[in-house]
Amino acid sequence: MRIKSQADFYSGVMFTAIGAAFAVGATTYNIGDGARMGPGYFPLMLGILLALLGAAVMFQSLVVETVDGDPIGKWAWKPLFFVIAANLAFGVLLGGLPSIGVPAMGMIIAIYALTIISSLAGEHFKLRDVLVLSTILAAGSYVAFIWALKLQIQVWPTFISG
Amino acid sequence: MELFHNLAIGFGVAFTFTNLLYCLVGCILGTLIGVLPGIGPVATIAMLLPATYALPPVSALIMLAGIYYGAQYGGSTTAILVNLPGESSSVVTCIDGYQMARQGRAGPALAAAGLGSFFAGCVGTLILAAFAPPLTELAFKFGPAEYFSLMVLGLIGAVVLASGSLLKAVAMIVLGLLLGIVGTDVNSGVARFSFDIPELTDGIGFVVIAMGVFGYGEIIGNLSQPDEEREVFTSEVKGLFPTKDDFKRMAPAVLRGTALGSALGILPGGGALLASFAAYALEKKIRMRPGEVPFGKGNIRGVASPESANNAGAQTSFIPLLTLGIPPNAVMALMVGAMTIHNIQPGPQVMTSNPELFWGLIASMWIGNAMLIILNLPLIGMWIKLLTVPYKFLFPAIVLFCAIGVYSTNNNTFDVWMVAAFGFIGYLFIKLRTEPAPLLLGFILGPMMEENLRRALLLSRGAWSVFVTRPLSAGLLVAAALLLGIVLLPAIKAKREEAFVEE
């Protein structure tokens, strides 16, 4: 059988898989009955419902004709990787990660790292521009979040501020 | 008159110097961020939400109201100037607004949007003040069964709004409900789906999902497009105010839009998006005057009416939020999040237990609206300059704001890892063409729905018939069924698609 809408088919697969996972997970909790619902009752119901909906979406994608087959298209691995990596680097540098021995480096360094890494996701990377941008963002964030809003965020590395 | 007495309380609370200042700051920030392409009110509020944590509750909500209006108007500005809708409801504004901008009439279009919104906001405020109390009394008649049915109606309403496949929208809602269940079960204390991660026993943060799916997902999606030039309209905006002729056409359109928007906003799940589409459809049905520009070619009615409807709907959608505690759309869901952070449980009791807050909020909505007009009409030229910031500088800044925003909610890096995961999921949603807005609604309503379902069935000793034997609940379920039926009708379905395809 030919898939008539690729995007729909795989979203159906996703819904069914997630629904089934939730439903199976829910069975490890006490289900109870209608009058005395256990913690597993509602998730089990919803999980089954989601799995059924996913199946319906899959069925539809096999039956209903679309113009161009609704392809998912190429994955944009580059932006995906760099945006997520920038975010993770920000978290690691800001809070530190004792399990791999990275000390907390504070907000300013984390902002530079985030800006540089996320800029790699774009098409044209010019280090000078990116450094200017990170400096502006770091200064702006300091003024907005630390000075004006007084958020409790560590600004400098632990070994400097102590 | 009680109405004026109440409004007086509200203005008394809101009209302090500090609150006005917060409102102004919120308005400025909201507009500044909302005017950025691709960032709608949801993302703006999510981003600026942490900024309000440190404030007292009234000031925080007033600032949020300012942010909300700023973001909404900022979104319309982008829609008109560069044909980029920052949110789904400004899609309609794009159709005729951008055409007007191309003809050098961006000024009148922006002014029409602003003035129409302001008028609609004034009417919406009055409606909110006049009808919130009676609706609140109705809310006290609501038992768990009614709440559950009302939420079903609200969720079905959300489905109507999604532009793509209905089935997928329903599935996204259910997925959202499931995500909302993650965390400690309030009844039994069992940590569900937390995989023994201590942070997950508190549930997944709303901001984490909103930022990840909307912020990161969108950015990755945008960057994946080939490096085509964004069509930015940088030419000077000439002539700020509409002509006399424009006003003559605008005025009735604004009135119609306001009436329609106010009515739709009251329905839970209705809200701004449905309002603007309905208003545009209505304007198209009304006969043209001789010499009028056709729709889709820069008709000022096509801007004024949906924008008014949008704003009126946004204003009256506070009624279900404040009186029933049910967020009618994703923006309102964020507001609920903001309120709970300040230890305010939205619902009928807010009005009696916290009248200053309630009426203060209503007054501040109006102030925010007025502030917006004062702020924006003279500054249109400046907003356009912001749009000339190249995307390659814009997106790292957005990534940064998302990351800082998420971190500062709990001062915990775990949320930063979570937002990375949801960023990936958001991109997956884009690839699979599933719309994330219904998911957010489901996520907010999930725990409430479970709670009310449990209570209702506990009271009825497990008999599901309780949902149809109680008249109010049955009525709501019938309304939900009707709503679903309407959407499923092929004729309306075609209309819906037509409205979205239109350029």
The ipTM is 0.89
What pLDDT is stored for residue B503 in this prediction?
A: 34
Would you tell me which residues 48-107 of chain B have a C-beta closer than 8 angstroms to some C-beta of chain A? 50-51, 54
Residues in chain B with CB shorter than 8 Å from the CB of A43 are 178, 181, 192-193
Computed over every residue of chain A, the mean pLDDT equals: 83
In this structure, the answer to whether residues A81 and A150 fall within a common structural domain is: yes
pLDDT tens per residue across span B271-288: 555 677 667 767 776 767
In this structure, the answer to whether residues A54 and A84 fall within a common structural domain is: no
* Domain presence at residue A72: no
Higher pLDDT, B350 or A14: A14
Higher pLDDT, B163 or A74: A74
Residues in chain A with CB shorter than 8 Å from the CB of B416 are 87-88, 90-91, 94-95
Contact predicate B32/B158, CB 8 Å = no
- Which tokens in the block code for residue B265? 């906003």
In this structure, the answer to whether residues A51 and A104 fall within a common structural domain is: no
* Domain presence at residue A19: yes
* pLDDT > 60? residue B172: yes
Give the mean model confidence (pLDDT) for residues B316-343. 73
Higher pLDDT, B388 or B228: B388
Give the mean model confidence (pLDDT) for residues A133-159. 78
Give the mean model confidence (pLDDT) for residues B395-421. 81
pLDDT tens per residue across span A3-21: 778 888 899 999 999 999 9
Computed over every residue of chain B, the mean pLDDT equals: 75
Choose among B269, B306, B237: nearest CA to B92.
B306
Choose among B467, B461, B480: nearest CA to B143.
B467
**Exposed e or buried b per residue across B241-279, where buried means at least 16 C-beta atoms within 10 angstroms of its C-beta:** ebeeebbebbeebbbbbbbbbbbbbbbbbbbbbbbbbbb
Answer with the one of A63, A86, A111 that is the final residue of a domain.
A63
* pLDDT > 70? residue B226: no
* Domain presence at residue A70: no
Sequence spans of domains, chain B:
2-138+146-235+242-501
* pLDDT > 80? residue B343: no
Q: What is the pTM of this model?
A: 0.71
Instruction: Confirm or reject contact between B493 and chain A (CB < 8 A).
Output: no
What pLDDT is stored for residue B159 in this prediction?
A: 67
Based on DSSP, count helices (H) and strands (E) in chain B, helices before strands: 24, 2
Please report which confidence band the pLDDT of residue B227 belongs to, taking 50, 70 and 90 as the band edges: low
Does the beta-carbon distance from B457 to A37 stay under 8 Å?
Answer: yes
* Domain presence at residue A127: yes
Does the beta-carbon distance from B216 to A87 stay under 8 Å?
Answer: yes
* pLDDT > 70? residue B83: no
Higher pLDDT, B263 or A162: B263
Please report which confidence band the pLDDT of residue B231 belongs to, taking 50, 70 and 90 as the band edges: very low
Report the range of poorest mean pLDDT among A78-82, B1-5, B146-150, B379-383: B379-383
pLDDT tens per residue across span B452-461: 888 888 888 8
What pLDDT is stored for residue B487 in this prediction?
A: 65
Please report which confidence band the pLDDT of residue B240 belongs to, taking 50, 70 and 90 as the band edges: low
Please report which confidence band the pLDDT of residue B232 belongs to, taking 50, 70 and 90 as the band edges: very low
Higher pLDDT, A2 or B363: B363
How far apart are the C-alpha atoms of A102 and A99, rounded to whole Å?
8
What pLDDT is stored for residue A54 in this prediction?
A: 92
| Inter-chain Cβ pairs, chain A and chain B, closer than 8 A | 202
Would you tell me which residues 17-56 of chain A have a C-beta closer than 8 angstroms to some C-beta of chain B? 18-19, 22, 25-26, 29-30, 33-40, 42-43, 46-47, 49-50, 53-54, 56
Higher pLDDT, A47 or A1: A47
As for how many domains chain A has, the answer is 2
How far apart are the C-alpha atoms of B127 and A40, rounded to whole Å?
43
Contact predicate B128/B363, CB 8 Å = no
Does the beta-carbon distance from A14 to B428 stay under 8 Å?
Answer: yes
Contact predicate B383/B101, CB 8 Å = no
How far apart are the C-alpha atoms of B203 and B180, rounded to whole Å?
7
* Domain presence at residue A1: no
Please report which confidence band the pLDDT of residue B312 belongs to, taking 50, 70 and 90 as the band edges: confident
Does the beta-carbon distance from A22 to B193 stay under 8 Å?
Answer: yes
Give the mean model confidence (pLDDT) for residues B71-76. 80
What pLDDT is stored for residue B267 in this prediction?
A: 64
In this structure, the answer to whether residues A101 and A27 fall within a common structural domain is: no
In this structure, the answer to whether residues A58 and A110 fall within a common structural domain is: no
A97 three-state secondary structure: strand
Read off φ and ψ for residue B40, nearest 5 degrees: -90, -175
Residues in chain B with CB shorter than 8 Å from the CB of A10 are 432
Boundaries of domain holding A90: 77-161
Does the beta-carbon distance from A39 to B395 stay under 8 Å?
Answer: no
In this structure, the answer to whether residues A101 and A128 fall within a common structural domain is: yes
pLDDT tens per residue across span A62-121: 877 776 767 777 777 888 888 889 888 888 888 777 777 777 788 888 899 888 898 888
How do B183-184 and B191-192 pair as beta strands?
A: antiparallel
pLDDT tens per residue across span A43-72: 899 999 999 999 998 888 887 777 676 777
Give the mean model confidence (pLDDT) for residues B102-115. 78
pLDDT tens per residue across span B109-145: 888 888 888 888 888 888 887 877 776 666 666 778 8
Instruction: Confirm or reject contact between B116 and chain A (CB < 8 A).
Output: no
* pLDDT > 50? residue B107: yes
Nearest by CB to B227, from A75, A123, A145: name it: A123
Residues in chain B with CB shorter than 8 Å from the CB of A37 are 187, 453-454, 457-458
Q: What share of chain B is helix, strand, coil (3-state, %, to 5)?
A: 75, 0, 25
Highest mean pLDDT among B67-81, B122-136, B175-189, B228-242: B175-189
* pLDDT > 50? residue A40: yes
Give the mean model confidence (pLDDT) for residues B162-187. 81
In this structure, the answer to whether residues A153 and A87 fall within a common structural domain is: yes
Does the beta-carbon distance from B416 to A43 stay under 8 Å?
Answer: no
